[in-house]
Chain A
Amino acid sequence: MFHLPAFLDAFPALLSGLRVTIELTLLVMPCAVVVALLLALARLYAPRPIANLAMGRVELWRATPLLLQLYWLYYVMPSEFGILLPGLATVAFGLICNVSAFLSENFRAGIASIRAGQWHAGRALGMSEIQAFFRIVMPQAWSRVLPETASMWVELFKETSLVSTLAVADLTYRALALRTENYRTLEVLTALAVAYLVLAYPQAKFCDWLYRRQRVHE
């Protein structure tokens, strides 16, 4: 019933989709980190109205389903605002907005967890606030937010699969397309699951290791 050659043949066909999945992850993550840092800083140090705005932006993107967000951008932006971006750019933008919202919560907590005394100590040495932030606070906060940031990376890697519903030809899209070509549904979908497994498993294990390491350090 399970046809092994069909299963194995599926992998080469999935390769081009894999490229898109990896590219999307590599493109989105650094952008999301930068946006998240800005959001976190705005919530912590900006004047009230801006901090509230940042909070609203984060809450909105955290409390709604990603798929709905992507659909909204994909269909509403061209029809209402006349912004017609390529599909890939639209979903990348959506993913950046979504991932940065979650990351900014993590960053904010990490920065807030550094004792005020550390700021004072840096300032007492004659550093400016910006120097104190980058030289004293950020390095300490970084090691605290690292494990969760890494998990977010794995999350993102998996969540890029949603873009297949918007005709972006990622790994999942290729598999679903292949399924309708050769009707080897079980084999193709299993190959798809295995492909994600092989790629994400080491990443997930790496995250576990980061969490364990952090627990030992603190």
Chain B
Amino acid sequence: MLDAFEIVRRNLGLLGHAFLITVELNVASIALALSLGALMGIGRVYGGHWANRALGLVIDVVRSIPILVIMVWAFFGLPLLLGLKVFPAFIAGVLALGLHSGVYIAEIVRGGLASVRAGQMHAALALGMSWWQAVRRIVLPQAAIRMMPPLNTRIVRNIKDSVLASTIAVQELFWAANLLEGETAKPFPIYTTLMVFYFIVIVLIARVLDRTYMKVAARGAA
């Protein structure tokens, strides 16, 4: 049985390179998602009625479409729309994942901001703070702490969704696994190794994020 895994051992170079691409894909898309989510969430809460409506519509549209469809649309459709001849799959993957995770994060940010009592804003203004000082120093930090649990779930979700980039030929881990499987017709060792790998990585990341939250949780209490 163990001999079967020889195929994995012999191809560690390929898998290592693919792992790096998986990491880059996730770092880039999560960074994009956090920025997009923060902007859209703040816009919904403080941008006034019409900004709230417009952003709400964008968010609802994106979260009604499967990430796989967004991904193939971004890779095949977007360059046609923009008139681009070359469009790297990696960029399409980052855009699709970032946008998809971003709209969910926007809702998390909105909920977090809205959960801070109006009295906190009053107390900050009563000290003589400007509106922006009150948001930055009082409302946002509290909201950020309360956002952490759903945010952590979303980040983990982004990592799991990133394997879909293999469908548009981003050469990440799952793409490499499929390549090996196609060459060797040995699905068991290849997919099992990948399964175990993802399980360990995701459980570890979830635990680290959870620990971080536990450390600051008391500071976010209402």
Contacts and interface: CB of A to CB of B under 8 A. Distances in A.
Query: Do A's and B's CB atoms come within 8 Å in the complex?
Result: yes
Nearest to A187: B77
A60 B196 CA distance: 9
A205 interface: yes
A193 to B, nearest CB: 5
Interface in B33-71: 60-61, 63-70
Nearest to B1: A80
Interface residues of B, number: 40
Interface string A72-89: 100110011000000000
A186 B81 contact: yes
Interface size class of A (residues with CB under 8 A): 35 or more
B206 interface: yes
Contacts of B77: 185-186, 189-190
A64 interface: yes
Given A63-B199, A68-B195, A76-B192, A159 B66 contact: yes
B60 A161 contact: no
Given A63-B203, A204-B63, A193 B70 contact: yes
Nearest to B83: A1
B64 A197 contact: yes
What is the interface of chain A mostly: helix, strand, loop, or mixed? Answer: helix
A172 B206 CA distance: 31
Contacts of A119: none
A197 B174 contact: no
Contacts of B191: 68, 71-72, 75-76
B28 interface: no
B188 A65 contact: no
B195 A161 contact: no
B187 interface: yes
A93 B178 CA distance: 21
A64 B76 contact: no
A189 B73 contact: yes
Contacts of B166: 67
A172 B163 CA distance: 17
A48 B207 CA distance: 23
A155 to B, nearest CB: 9
Contacts of A60: 199
Interface in A131-175: 158-159, 161-162, 164-165, 172
Contacts of A165: 68, 167
B169 interface: no
A176 B72 contact: yes
A179 interface: yes
A71 B164 CA distance: 12
Interface of B: 60-61, 63-70, 72-73, 76-77, 80-81, 83, 156, 160-164, 166-167, 174, 178, 181, 185, 187-188, 191-192, 194-195, 198-199, 202-203, 206
Given A63-B198, A65-B160, 7 more contacts: A1-B80, A65-B198, A68-B194, A76-B191, A186-B76, A189-B76, A189-B77
Interface of A: 1-2, 59-60, 63-69, 71-72, 75-76, 79-80, 158-159, 161-162, 164-165, 172, 176, 179, 185-186, 189-190, 192-193, 196-197, 199-201, 204-205
